[in-house]
A and B are shown apart, each in its own frame.
Chain A
Amino acid sequence: MEAAAGLKDDCEALLSRFQEMDSVRFEDFTELWRSMKFGTIFCGRMRNLEKNTFTKEALTSAWRYFLPPYTFQIRVGALYLLYGLYNTQLCQPKQKIRVALKDWDEILKFQQDLINAQHFDAAYIFRRLRLDRAFHFTAMPKLLSYRMKKKIQRTEITEEFKDPNDRVMKLITSDVLEEMMNVHDHYQRMKHVISADKSNPEKSLNLIKDDFFDNIKNIVLEHQQWHKDRKNPPLKLKVKGGEEKSERNSQQSERCERAESLAKIKSKAFSVVVQASKSRRHRQVKVDFSDSESSQVQTKTTRKRRNKETLKPAGRKVSSRDRGDMQNLHKEDNSLSLSMPVVAEEDEENESFSETEFTAPKRRRKQRTKS
């Protein structure tokens, strides 16, 4: 329905502007609300039946943003939006907000988080809605009537309102690092134990890098820092939400740094490749020499086509915000000279060689099974 599409646009416009304000205060929200004159969304001589359906639709649209996986700020914004819509609606008696059983515990947890973080206005608003009995406590979020539509409409999640999907962070977690460290130690010890000459430690141990894990940790921390700097300039932290916000940000920046560092190390590794032997000439790995940002963009398309067998770093999702900061990225990349093929120095080649050794065969194997 057209009205539904329009509602989605309006809600998202309001919420994205609220997100830009970087605040969770109700006063800021009401400023936005009044400036957009959002309360007039019910105007326009709707007759009773249409008013009812439209209001139900509006509340359902706003409700979606109140549940995970949206960010904390968006969820608070959605709570304010629900409060605004519920109180400015023209239906008599008021249309209610549907809450499914499976979501209620999550919401109570959210309410408790609000109280703990001393966001009193948000907590007050939720309490007010509950006291006004604005909720219908239901089995499922919407009415299910087994309509066999040709295409089941999937609810699309607005990407900008989610936390950015940090694939690197999901890959290198502290658990993974710890485990790798343990494996490394264990391996070394085992090698020592089984080596024939006790005084002379096993030569093959020279192949592995001892400071591998410290490097990874540092790189990942750098990545997080980069992520944090990539975002909008630091927020005006109000007293009430101050501690919570800074906590969240430092957590995020840590993760971002780590993720970033890891991405860097990967792109560094993959920018140098081993010359394939004659028999495997047809499977020579090529590296794309454009800058790493666009090479990552290309990752998606090449993966789809699977014609070139190029080793690419794992692509980050290039959201619209990234484009604005491409300048920064270029500078940083140039400083590490990732985009240009690395001129082989003695130890660097060994480094990257060993890394490629580890990872390249695995990649090749993967691709072989794929094709």
Chain B
Amino acid sequence: MAEDSRGDSACGGMDGRQDPVPSSGGFNFPEYELPELNTHAFHVAAFGELWRGRLRGEGDLSLKEPLAPALPGAGGVSDSGSEDAAVARDLGCSLETAAELRAVCGLDKLKCLEEGEDPEVIPENTDLVTLGVRKRLLKHREETLTIDRACRQETFAYEMESHAIGKKPENSADMIEEGELILSVNIFYPVIFHKHKEHKPYQTVLVLGSQKLTELRDSICCVSDLQIGGEFSNAPDQAPENISKDLYKSAFFYFEGTFYNDKRYPECRDLSRTIIEWSESHDRGYGKFQTAKMEDFTFNDLYIKVGFPYLYCHQGDCEHVVVITDIRLVHHDDCLDKTLYPLLIKKHWLWTRKCFVCKMFTARWVTNNDSFAPQDPCFFCDVCFRMLHYDAEGNKLGEFLAYPYVDPGTFN
């Protein structure tokens, strides 16, 4: 595991400073284009290769569990002996020095708590500013809260983040390969509310570099996909027949001047054609747009900017902003099961609208011009809706318009 100096490899611009760098086509070193906001465009697979080239043969890429260091004094003599030999070889020092290093740099040197001290309790007379802040916070919580435990949203958020960590697949063919890239993608919700001015809600999905764009498309759960068009007051039992997802299958992704259209089904139309024609009709200052098929491309094939907003459009006009926030190499602690990707790790918690009558179940129907309802529009769950608007035989009572309603919080 020799560490040869690669400092002289021919790659420029690595001083870590964040000056705006003009984007050059073949330069796959991610650098800030706008400081702290986004990088210039680079090729994902080439970037991955740059990392793999630097780490190959060093054990950094391996997905097996790493070996724990031999503890000083404990463990077999042979373990520590061979480890010392490796250390001596890598650092160019003597065996005695290696043994000494193992003792001096052991983890026991970092212990700050005595035996029996609870790591949960903040020690007294501490100088650390962080602990002072935390102490005040804890005191405040003790004084104001009756029960101090995690609320549902916090538990939910933590579960989402960590439910897949370290999962290994049952079938070894589903194991992720070493050196695979993981992209972390933020997909924003399409609604534009004024209250979301500062922080628009989004969900975060982890996707593998070798996965196709269509796989990401299929994993995006948007409520507009489930909308059922049509007025069903006269035939409430026929309602859940045609959801929009089945009717309107077209969608596209827009990355760096190229529209990737979903063309898997014959019904899919090229939604991007309107935009391309519009931009070409006059000189609007946009470059030439390209089109491509979504199912032919994987994330490794893309040129993208990290941190830059792109677009996902489906159902004709339901638009989601898409931002790729991070690209990194896979690590042995990640979820290693290919079938679980794209993996949802963060979701915005949405409060669901409840039935106006029972206030318990999520609303499934919405009515307009309803003589029975106190407000227009009014939401009902399935049971209350039928009880109120239809008699025992199922005849329609009164005048009203009823539409099936899918609440955005359905995916919670």
Question: Could you list which residues of chain A lie within 8 angstroms of chain B, going by C-beta atoms?
Answer: 2-3, 5-7, 9-10, 13, 26-27, 30, 33-34, 36-49, 52, 67-68, 83-84, 87-88, 90, 93-94, 96, 98, 100-106, 108-109, 111-112, 115, 118, 120-121, 123-125, 127-128, 130-133, 135-140, 143-146, 152-154
Contact = CB atoms under 8 A, between A and B. Distances in A.
B120 A36 contact: no
Contact of B93 (A42, A120, A132): A120
Contacts of B101: 120-121, 124
B13 A6 contact: no
A241 to B, nearest CB: 14
Given A42-B119, A45-B120, A84-B110, A108 B5 contact: yes
A43 B122 contact: yes
Contact of A121 (B66, B104, B113, B329): B104
A45 B7 contact: no
B147 interface: no
Nearest to A136: B328
Interface of B: 3, 5-7, 9, 11, 13-16, 29-32, 35-39, 47, 50-51, 54-55, 58-60, 62, 66-67, 69, 87, 90-93, 97, 101, 104-105, 107, 109-113, 119-123, 126-135, 138, 150, 154, 157-158, 161-162, 165-166, 184, 186, 306-309, 323, 325-329, 331-333
A137 B51 contact: yes
B107 to A, nearest CB: 5
A127 B128 CA distance: 29
B105 A128 contact: yes
Contacts of B13: 102
Nearest to B39: A140
A47 B154 CA distance: 9
A135 B54 CA distance: 14
A128 B327 contact: no
Contact of B325 (A7, A48, A105, A143): A143
Given A49-B157, A103-B14, 5 more contacts: A6-B132, A36-B128, A40-B122, A48-B158, A93-B333
A300 B49 CA distance: 49
A242 to B, nearest CB: 16
B130 A139 contact: no
Contacts of B3: 108, 111-112, 115, 127
Contact of A140 (B54, B323, B326): B326
B184 A112 contact: no
Q: Residue among B92, B101, B161 with the most chain A CB within 10 A? A: B101
Q: Which 4 pairs between the two chains have the least Cβ-Cβ distance?
A: A144-B307, A39-B112, A109-B7, A6-B130
A49 B154 contact: yes
Nearest to A42: B119
Given A49-B154, A137-B60, A146-B307, A108 B6 contact: yes
A143 B202 CA distance: 15
Contacts of A42: 119
27 contacts: A3-B133, A10-B130, A13-B127, A34-B110, A39-B111, A48-B158, A49-B161, A101-B29, A101-B47, A102-B31, A106-B15, A109-B5, A112-B7, A121-B104, A128-B69, A130-B59, A133-B331, A136-B331, A138-B327, A139-B30, A139-B47, A140-B306, A144-B307, A145-B323, A145-B325, A146-B37, A146-B323
B123 A37 contact: yes
Contacts of B31: 102
Contacts of A33: 109-110, 112
Given A39-B110, A140-B326, A143-B326, A2 B36 contact: no
Q: Residue among B47, B92, B109, B166 with the most chain A CB within 10 A? A: B109
A125 B105 contact: yes
B58 A130 contact: yes
Contacts of B150: 47-49
A68 B7 contact: no
B35 A152 contact: yes
B30 to A, nearest CB: 4
A34 B127 CA distance: 12
A88 B110 contact: yes
Contacts of A103: 14, 16
B400 to A, nearest CB: 44
A62 to B, nearest CB: 13
A101 B30 CA distance: 7
Given A30-B110, A40-B126, A100-B30, A105 B104 contact: no
Contacts of A109: 5, 7
Q: Residue among B29, B90, B129 with the most chain A CB within 10 A? A: B129
B127 A131 contact: no
Given A6-B132, A139-B326, A68 B112 contact: no
